[in-house]
């Protein structure tokens, strides 16, 4: 079980300011997490292959086929203030 001082120490390292109620809740939650870790460590995983993801990842992509793009004039129609074939946006310093 994690004691109050350990919770306060971890909170300080994380630069968190916890209320007394939060310290008590974290003490209980962190203790529960460590109990789960202990249970996992007690399992025999010697026959389990190391993985980087729990499930297999597969990229599903459409074929990369050239096709006509949107005409510039059509793309700029909804723009509030187009300028010389481009979108005009306010300066970040304005």
Whole-number pLDDT of residue 94? 64
Percentage above 90 pLDDT, the chain: 65
In a domain, 12, yes or no: yes
Q: Report yes or no on 29 lying in a domain.
A: yes
Q: Using CA atoms in the order 48, 34, 52, 45, what is the torsion angle rounded to 10 degrees? A: -10
6 Cβ neighbours under 8 A, 6+ residues apart: 30
Q: 44, 54, 52, 4: which is closest to 26 by C-alpha?
A: 4
Structural domain contains residue 21? yes
Domain enclosing residue 10, as ranges: 4-41
Instruction: Please name the residue that has the structure tokens 């007394």.
Output: 20
- Report pTM: 0.49
Average pLDDT over residues 39-48: 91
The per-residue pLDDT for 44 is 93
The DSSP result for 14-51, as a single string, is TT----HHHHHHHHHHHHHHHHHHHHHHTS--TTSPP-
Q: Where would I find the H helices in 42-91?
A: 72-76
Please report which confidence band the pLDDT of residue 91 belongs to, taking 50, 70 and 90 as the band edges.
confident
| pLDDT mean over 61-76 | 91
**Is residue 70 included in any domain, yes or no?**
no
């Amino acid at each position: 079980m994690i004691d109050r001082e350990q919770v306060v120490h971890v909170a300080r390292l994380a630069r968190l300011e916890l209320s007394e109620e939060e310290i008590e809740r974290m003490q209980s939650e962190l203790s529960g997490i460590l109990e789960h870790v202990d249970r996992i460590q007690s399992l025999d995983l010697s026959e389990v292959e190391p993985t980087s993801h729990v499930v297999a990842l597969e990229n599903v992509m459409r074929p990369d086929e050239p096709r006509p793009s949107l005409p510039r004039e059509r793309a700029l129609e909804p723009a509030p203030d187009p300028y010389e074939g481009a979108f005009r946006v306010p300066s970040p310093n304005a």
